[in-house]
Homo-oligomer: A and B are copies of this chain.
Amino acid sequence: MIVAFLGTAGSGKTTITGAFGRYLEEQGHSVAYVNLDTGVKRLPYTPDIDVREIVTVEELMAEGYGPNGAIVESYDRLLPEVEKIAEKILKLEEKKECTLIDTPGQMESFLFHEFGIMLMDRLGEPLMVYLFDPEILKRPHDYCFVRFFALMIDLRLGTTTVPVLNKIDLLENEELERHRKYLEDIEYLKARLKLDPTMQGLLAYKLCSFLPEVSPPVRVVYASARNRTGFEDLETLSYEHYCTCGDLT
């Protein structure tokens, strides 16, 4: 089975890829690691496939590109290699019980680049873990944003996306409970949004009213790479996903 980690720069993709992989290995599973980040300096795991062998942001910057241009250019240069990379990943999947994919540092270089679209299209139905930071959850409509953003990933990549609130070791208990309530109890969220007279509140209220009709019930996972919180949930969800798809029973 294939599990891919997606999220903005700094959301903890690389750290959780390493930590979740070690956790699975300690459970006795064989694990493969794929690094798709052309800009990462150090990895906490040994990659079986590493796109930095083809191109790195650093070498493109040495050619004269600015950091943003170099990131885009690196995926432009990976695009002709996408079939080969997909084949290698599918071969790993045959050999190992679990293949973990660490996606590009900047989420948009995957979601908005043909490299990401084409690669995901060739990998069957991987489980996509969408990592988000508690920092982005300040106002009621932010919870609506996260729920819809997970749908945008499904829409763009054709994957099944699990929203994962990461870095929960940084939260007080009552903060975590508040996040949980807003993320899981859509009626509670709608009641709070109804009190928000701004354009954002109104838009979020309307969007959340449609959410049950456009999205099947979603399980949110609460994770921390530091103390392995949520790893059991993530493992269970991965197996359930592959069982339901019929790829793994």
Binding site for B on A (CB under 8 A): 8-10, 37, 39-41, 57-58, 61, 66-72, 105-109, 112, 114, 117, 133, 135-136, 138, 141-142, 144-145, 148-149, 151-152, 154-156, 158, 198-200, 203-204, 206-207, 210, 213-214
Write the chain B residue with the least CB distance to A112: B8
Contact partners of A61 in chain B: CB under 8 A:
61, 67
Report whether B152 and A148 are in contact in the complex, using a CB–CB cutoff of 8 Å. Answer: yes
> Is the Cβ of A10 less than 8 Å from the Cβ of B69?
yes
Are B145's CB and A156's CB within 8 A? yes
Give the residues in chain B near A41, CB-CB below 8 Å: 66, 69
CB pair B200 A210 closer than 8 Å = no
**Which residues of B lie under 8 Å from residue A156 when comparing CB positions?**
142, 145
Does A151 contact B207, Cβ atoms closer than 8 Å? Answer: yes
Q: What are 24 A-to-B residue pairs whose CB atoms are below 8 Å?
A: A8-B108, A8-B112, A9-B69, A9-B71, A9-B72, A10-B68, A10-B69, A40-B66, A41-B69, A61-B67, A67-B71, A67-B105, A68-B71, A68-B105, A71-B106, A108-B108, A114-B135, A142-B156, A145-B152, A145-B155, A145-B156, A152-B152, A158-B199, A210-B213
